Amino acid sequence: MIETGLQEKVVVVTGAASGIGKATARRFAAEGCHVASWDVEEGEPEQCGMFQKVDVSDRSAVDRAIAEVIARWGSIDVLVNNAGILRDAQLVKVKNGELNGGMTDEQFDATIAVNLRGVFVCTRAVAAHMVAAGKGGVILNASSVVGLYGNFGQTCYVATKAGVIGMTRVWARELGRHKIRVNAVAPGFIATNMIRSMPEMILQNMRDHTPLRRLGSPEEIANAYVWLASDAASFVSGAVLSVDGGLVTGT
């Protein structure tokens, strides 16, 4: 059995009220971590240690939440930047040869605010505390397979997920000297509540495009985060781990 070295570590998971974030918070808690779950929606503090209602794009809200975590547990050892939203639309939509709508400024700006600015705001604040504490740490960012190869109708989402990969690589270079490892996870089609509510035809198409011929589970993404945070991945930094059932390979 591999020792994770995570017992008693303090972990912040953003977007932890549901889906992958919720599974990730529970998985770290199962490893004996102190977990602070952040979300704009209501969460389950009794299951994971501490729930805080936080808008990750709001610097003041993030600073207050960090202060509460440090006041309770003394430090932050792991940050999982999982929070994200979807505002899908085609760049321009054409019907019968005429322009018929397209992506709005509001859709683009909202997605950038949460998926990209939110990762920046949270990482900047947590990294500052990690550097000051001098113990090192781990920062894990949620990208997506679409950040690697693009996807129809997802201009703003793809832009954020590709941007997260870029920031991950920069921060791995900048923060490594402070013993802080930075990595990204790129999930494929994962069976969250949002995905499972889609029509069966779309779900089957997702399965058909995945070489393993099934959807992933939130717990499988959580396992990837735990491994990357653990001592087993102590020399892994600047990596983008695809957890997609072979999807990128199969495209």
Indicate which residues carry an active-site annotation: 157
Would you say 87 and 107 are in contact if contact means Cβ atoms under 8 Å apart?
Answer: yes
Burial class from Cβ neighbours inside 10 Å (0-12, 13-18, 19+) for residue 202 reads: exposed
Spell out the residues 6+ positions from residue 4 whose beta carbon is closer than 8 angstroms to its own: 31, 226, 227, 229, 230, 231, 232
SS3 49: strand
Residue 91 CA neighbour count, 13 Å, CB half: 5
**Bridging pattern class, strands 92-95 and 98-102:** antiparallel
Would you say 45 and 37 are in contact if contact means Cβ atoms under 8 Å apart?
Answer: yes
SS3 42: coil
Is residue 228 left, alpha or beta, with left meaning phi > 0 and alpha meaning psi from -120 to 50?
A: alpha
- How many residues are listed for the chain in this entry? 251
Burial 140-163 (b: 16+ CB within 10 A, else e): bbbbbbbbbeeeeebbbbbbbbbb
Distance in angstroms (rounded) separating the CA atoms of residues 45 and 27? 14
